[in-house]
Structure 1
């Protein structure tokens, strides 16, 4: 993926970037049904926060440089997880799992 147009259903990368891009899909899961019905997760890409929904969400990100990704549960910032997506790379998928009662979240 190269030009400035994100595929349908993919949240576009909004910061200035003219290089290659790729699609990142984040699968957001929780073992707590009450949490998923009331508290949204927040995905941050290079510092820009997106309040999203539980399930799978796709983002367009640079493929030719490192990108900072973090996810947390809105509110008390419990269950925060973060990683760097390193170049080069094609499309990728990560899963964020949280056990809200313990305050632990992981990306993998």
Structure 2
């Protein structure tokens, strides 16, 4: 990855490394994400971003959608862990997102959204049938 890393906003005199973060939209998503690195917030587009972080201490990483508390997911990245994370937005904006090592995060709420989208037409069809039966009596 060749992104120029966003400089670390906190005070740190020790060694640094680069966190590569890949953000992926959920089924329903806000326009962008807000990434928090040790309390400093950065508004980003969906996709890949790089952040300079301390190499010798734990770093708190949080991601939410838009500028608010939608789809929030957070983790503490220790100096022993690889500096690559993936965020996946939820299927519904009232659910939390997921963050973790690339390839390990799953989208929350897919079954719920499938149930909602599948049941709505079924309920509508049932109502039409019931109403038509009642009207023919």
| Structure with the largest fraction of strand | 1
Gaps of at least 5 residues in structure 2 are 101-137
Match of 1:15 among 10, 17, 22: 10
Q: Displacement of 1:100 after TM fit?
A: 4.6
Q: CA RMSD in A?
A: 2.1
1:98 matched to 2:92: no
The structure carrying a bigger helix percent of its residues is 2
Deviation at 1:99, TM superposition (A): 2.1
Distance 2:14 2:23 in 1: 28
**Cα deviation digits, residues 51-99 of structure 1 (max 9, x gap):** 011000000000101111100012541210011111245x521110012
- Of structures 1 and 2, the one scoring higher in RCO (CA 8 A, sep 6+) is 1
> Which residue in the other structure is 2:73 paired with?
81
TM-score where L is the length of structure 2: 0.63
Paired residues in the alignment total: 98
